Amino acid sequence: MSPNRPTGHAPPPDPLGLDALSGPLADTFIAAALALAALMATAVVLTRRTVRQAIVLSGYGMVLGLLFLILQAPDVAMSQIGVGTVLLPLIVVLALHATRRYRDTATGNGRHDDGRPDGADTRNDTRADTRNDTRGGGQADGRGAGR
């Protein structure tokens, strides 16, 4: 019934991982990771520009992955790092870029229609960002998404 190789799981009274998760050092790590996660979450909320917020969100995903790793859930940590650090911010950035392009071309005052190559998208993003700030004042950045 049980395989003949050691599985690494001791019988129930002393499951693996209890020792690694207790003690002052482990407590310090867990507390630090939790504090870092809270800090990054606050930073995400307090970041007002959406493009920048996506980048901070990526950092938050990384910190969450670190927390899961410290809490000894490597599977969850891998999923979190993949989805929260790469996929979600990338989708947010792409969606923002699409809405911005739509707004620029729809209103006709965009700078990068007219067949201008928009290969360097990061530059476009930052440029659109600053333009928004000078023009719109304090208006929320992602408002174009609603239209």
Partner 1 sequence: MTPRARVALFAFGAAGTAALYTAGTLDLPGFGGAWHPYADRAVRQAVAHGTPNAVASVTFDQRAFDTLGEEIILLAAAVAAVVLLRVLRREDEDTDGSHRHGPADVPDALRLVGHLLLPLTLTVGVYVVAHGHQSPGGGFQGGVILGTAVHLLYLAGDYPALRRLRPLPVFEAAEAVAAAAFVVLALAATGWAATGRVPALNGAVGVEVGCALTLLLGRFFEQALLVRPPAPPGGRTGRTGEAP
Residue 136 as a binder of partner 1 (CB under 8 A): the answer is no
For partner 1, the binding residues in 50-79 under the rule CB under 8 A are: 74-75, 78-79
Q: Which two tokens stand for residue 21?
A: 């998760």
Residue 105 as a binder of partner 1 (CB under 8 A): the answer is yes
The full length of the chain comes to 147
The residue among 41 and 69 lying less far from partner 1, judged by its C-beta, is 69
For partner 1, the binding residues in 8-27 under the rule CB under 8 A are: 9, 12, 15, 18, 21-22
Residue 30 as a binder of partner 1 (CB under 8 A): the answer is yes
Ramachandran area for residue 61 (φ above 0: left; ψ -120 to 50: alpha; else beta): alpha
> What's the closest the beta carbon of residue 135 comes to partner 1, in angstroms?
19
Spell out the SS3 assignment of 112-123.
CCCCCCCCCHHH
The residue among 5 and 135 lying less far from partner 1, judged by its C-beta, is 5
**51 CB-near residues (< 8 Å, 6+ apart):** 93, 96, 125, 126, 129, 141
**CB-based contact 145:51 (threshold 8 Å):** no
Residues near partner 1 (CB under 8 A), total: 40
* Burial label, 50 (beta-carbon count in 10 A; 0-12, 13-18, 19+): buried
The residue among 9 and 48 lying less far from partner 1, judged by its C-beta, is 9
**Contact with partner 1 (CB under 8 A) among 24, 46, 115, 134:** 115
Separation between Cα atoms, residue 102 and residue 147, nearest integer Å:
10
Q: Which two tokens stand for residue 135?
A: 């023009």
Please report, as ranges, the residues that interact with partner 1 according to CB under 8 A.
1-3, 5, 7, 9, 12, 15, 18, 21-22, 30, 74-75, 78-79, 82-83, 86-87, 90-91, 94-95, 97-98, 101-102, 105-106, 108, 113-121
